[in-house]
Amino acid sequence: MAIVSLITEQDFEVLYQIEQLAHQVPWSKGILKNNQGKNYCNLKLEVSEKKIIGFAICHCVLDEATLFNIAIAPNFQGQGFGKFLLNALIEKLRQQNIVTLWLEVRQSNHTALKLYQQFGFNQVDIRKNYYPTSDGKRENAIIMALSL
C-alpha cells in the first residue's frame, strides 16, 4: 500500500539518498532543504512500514505551481509509483485552487515525458542548454504546462 503525505524535517536524509540515485545531476542536500516552506507543496511517497521511496517538490505562487523535482528510488521505478505520486500532487494542488502546473524536463528523459503526456501536459517551449550533464555539456529543457 502506498501513502502520500507532506515532507517533514526528519525525511531529508532519505530524500537526499533518493535524489542522489534517481537523477543524472542530483541536487545537493542544501538545495533540497532550501526548497521548503509555506509556498511549497512537497510530498513524500511511502510503502510498507513507512519506507520512503519517492518525493515531489512543488512551489506555489498565487494560482500557479511549478514542479521543481520529482524522484522515485530506482529500485521502485517502472511500477507506477511516479504516476501515483504525480496524481496525488495534482489532486492536492486542485484542492489549493491552483489552476496551472508547470514543469521543466530534460529533453532526453523519455520516460518522464511519456508520463507527463499521459497526464495531459502540453509542451509550451524549449529552454536551450538548460540542464548540466554529467559530462560537462548542456541539455535542452522542455517546458510543459497542465491546466488543472
List, for residues 124-133, the tens digit of each pLDDT value: 999 999 998 8
Q: Is the dihedral of CA 139, 145, 146, 148 positive or negative?
A: positive
Q: What is the pLDDT of residue 48?
A: 85
Q: Which of 104, 130, 131, 139 is catalytic?
A: 104
Establish how many alpha carbons lie within 13 A of residue 107's alpha carbon, considering only the half-sphere containing its beta carbon. Answer: 13
CATH code of the domain occupying 3-147: 3.40.630.30
Segment (H or E) for 29: helix 29-34
pLDDT reading at 66 higher than 90: yes
Catalytic residue among 16, 46, 116, 131: 116
The pLDDT of residue 80 is 95
Question: What is the distance between the alpha carbons of residues 79 and 86, in angstroms, rounded to a whole number?
Answer: 13
Active site residue 64: no
Residue ranges at the known binding site: 70-72, 109
In tens, the pLDDT along 30-53 reads 999 999 999 999 999 999 878 999
What's the confidence (pLDDT) of residue 31? 94
- Where does the pLDDT of residue 140 fall: very low under 50, low under 70, confident under 90, or very high at 90 and above? very high
How many Å apart are CA 9 and CA 31, to the nearest integer?
Answer: 14
Instruction: Write out the binding residues for acetyl-CoA.
Output: 70-72, 109
Every domain of the chain and the residues it spans: 3-147
Share of the chain above pLDDT 70, in %: 100
- What is the mean predicted confidence (pLDDT) over 62-75? 97
**pLDDT, tens digit, for every residue of 78-106?**
999 999 999 999 999 999 999 999 999 99
User: Does 104 qualify as catalytic in the annotation?
Assistant: yes
Question: What nine digits make up the cell of 142?
Answer: 522542455
User: What confidence score (pLDDT) does residue 69 get?
Assistant: 97
